Amino acid sequence: MLISVPNVLDPENVKTVRNHLDQAGSAWVDGRVTAGYQGAPVKFNQQIDERSDVAQACQKIIVGALERHPLFISAALPNVVYPPMFNRYGEGMNFGAHVDGSFRIHPHTGQKLRTDVSATLFLSNPSDYDGGELQMEDTYGVHAVKLAAGDMVIYPASSLHLVTPVTRGVRVACFFWVQSLVPDDGRRSLLFDMDNAIQRLNQTGADAAARRTLIGCYHNLLRQWGQP
């Protein structure tokens, strides 16, 4: 399930995060420092040291925004969110085809986190750079994503994906993973569609008893499939 999540950050928050990152200096390091054996040979970018002060200041802004975004909550059903990380691609940089690792260790708590959902939050506008598309491959083919600053895309962490070479400008983004209450992507997709239908029925004032029944079905499925 590939879902675009618009307006995660408003323009003022995008500006604040970018100011932090653009002034980070030596906090930018080789992106391969956190790559696994599969990713390291094909990863050519820079990222912010995830334990640095600048990373933690930006993480606070983004996590706060995620907690207030109903579409993200509905689509990801987050249990644990890995602290957001930040990368940039200058001219000639790219990240070849790879699948994200299945588990990560939370840098602040030491908790092992299963990566069910991957997320990329764009911090550069498409006009700022050429290339740099996020491409994902699934059973329906290849999908290229390049969104406005402040918009985000989420997709199964099991997806084969890459970032195409940047040929002009600089691409800056935030990325992170979510351990979902519902690990299975197909079940998350079904619950997401059901939640959207319920919200639309609420907006149209449809039959109240039928809506209550659907809401009960939603929560009973979540109770059956969820892993808190």
Q: Residue 39 pLDDT > 70, yes or no?
A: no
Say if residue 45 is in the same domain as residue 155. Answer: yes
pLDDT at 141: 87
Say if residue 167 is in the same domain as residue 199. Answer: no
Least confident span in 50-54, 148-152, 216-220: 50-54
Say if residue 81 is in the same domain as residue 175. Answer: yes
Say if residue 172 is in the same domain as residue 217. Answer: no
Say if residue 144 is in the same domain as residue 162. Answer: yes
Q: Which residues contact 119 (CB under 8 A, 6 or more apart)?
A: 76, 152, 153, 154, 175, 176, 177, 178
Say if residue 176 is in the same domain as residue 196. Answer: no
Read off the CATH number of the domain in which 26 is found: 2.60.120.620
pLDDT band at 36 (very low <50, low <70, confident <90, very high): low
pLDDT at 63: 97
Q: What is the pLDDT of residues 95-147, one digit of tens each?
A: 999 999 999 999 889 999 999 999 999 999 999 999 999 999 988 889 999 99
pLDDT at 38: 64
Q: Residue 196 pLDDT > 70, yes or no?
A: yes
Say if residue 165 is in the same domain as residue 70. Answer: yes
Distances from the Cα of 163 to the Cα of 32, 53, 142, angstroms: 14, 27, 12
Cα Rg for the chain, rounded, in angstroms? 18
Say if residue 200 is in the same domain as residue 132. Answer: no
pLDDT at 33: 78
Q: Residue 37 pLDDT > 70, yes or no?
A: no
Mean pLDDT of the chain: 94
Q: What is the pTM of this model?
A: 0.93
Say if residue 64 is in the same domain as residue 39. Answer: yes
Read off the CATH number of the domain in which 215 is found: 4.10.860.20
Q: What is the count of structural domains for the chain?
A: 2
CA distance 20 to 185: 34
Q: What is the pLDDT of residues 138-147, one digit of tens each?
A: 888 899 999 9
Say if residue 103 is in the same domain as residue 190. Answer: no
Say if residue 176 is in the same domain as residue 189. Answer: no
pLDDT band at 228 (very low <50, low <70, confident <90, very high): confident
Say if residue 164 is in the same domain as residue 198. Answer: no
What is the rounded average pLDDT of the residues 207-217?
94
What is the rounded average pLDDT of the residues 207-222?
95
Q: Residue 14 pLDDT > 90, yes or no?
A: yes
Structural domain of 111: 3-180
12 vs 32, higher pLDDT: 12
CA distance 66 to 27: 24
